[in-house]
């Protein structure tokens, strides 16, 4: 596929549970359309590391074991989205997580993300990766880690060259505690409860596009590119 380097793409939001392949697809979108992938986790860590006013406030909240509130997260996101590399578009990773954040994002984009090429404000292209629950379990329980070097594998999707042994140092791979099935089931249930309102928000506005994430990776990518191309 030819890469895009000039068209204004606008904001792209990928929704989907752990194991749906959002990270892989976000990287492919980034490389194909040359727009940055924006991670709220990275934004938060950078603000804390550099000691910005928002970062100091967020650090104090996290040290109390609490979730960083929207009044701190949203201004950090806004500051990042104003950077010059986001002018043609960007991919949001881990945001919005709530319907309130989705509403804030729409308002921010309507006010500030103005597409000079056609004189229009650009609302997000919202794509949900829909994956069967049992397939999610299969993917997530297939994760293995090297206790020595930290490299990760997946016995179904990215297996080591020698079964159960690390390619780098030959150490026997382990299943981390948070990769055990009972933990994964709990994570998936929590994710569904927390993020369903975000999908409902965009569905109500007629902007939610769904892709079958059970398909082979390249077919999923092709569907995503088709959606983006048809909307820009």
Q: What are the residue numbers of the active site?
A: 22, 97, 143, 176, 187
DSSP at 68: P
CB atoms within 10 A of CB 112: 11
Calpha distance 213→131 (Å, rounded)? 5
Q: Identify the bridge partners of residue 120 per DSSP, sorted by sequence position.
A: 115
Sort 158 into a burial class: Cβ within 10 Å, 0-12 / 13-18 / 19+. Answer: exposed
d(CA 25, CA 120): 27
CA dist 161 and 128 (Å) reads 33
């Amino acid at each position: 596929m030819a890469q895009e380097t000039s068209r204004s793409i606008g904001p792209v939001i990928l929704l989907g549970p752990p194991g749906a392949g959002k990270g892989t697809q976000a990287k492919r979108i980034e490389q194909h359309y040359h727009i940055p992938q924006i991670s709220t986790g990275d934004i938060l860590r950078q603000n804390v590391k550099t000691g910005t006013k928002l970062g100091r406030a967020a650090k104090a909240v996290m040290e109390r074991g609490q979730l960083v509130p929207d009044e701190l997260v949203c201004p950090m996101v806004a500051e990042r989205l104003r950077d010059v590399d986001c002018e043609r578009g960007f991919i949001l990773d881990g945001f919005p997580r709530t319907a309130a954040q989705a509403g804030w994002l729409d308002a921010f984009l309507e006010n500030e993300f103005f597409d000079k090429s056609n004189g229009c404000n650009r609302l997000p292209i919202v794509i949900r990766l829909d994956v069967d629950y049992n397939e999610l379990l299969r993917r997530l329980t297939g994760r293995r880690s090297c206790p020595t070097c930290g490299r990760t594998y997946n016995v179904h999707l990215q297996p080591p060259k020698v079964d159960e042994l690390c390619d780098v140092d030959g150490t026997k791979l382990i299943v981390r505690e948070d990769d055990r099935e009972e933990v994964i089931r709990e994570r998936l249930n929590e994710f569904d409860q927390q993020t369903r309102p975000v999908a409902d928000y965009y569905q109500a506005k007629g902007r939610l596009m769904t892709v079958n994430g059970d398909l082979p990776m390249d077919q999923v990518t092709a569907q995503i590119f088709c959606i983006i191309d048809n909307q820009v």
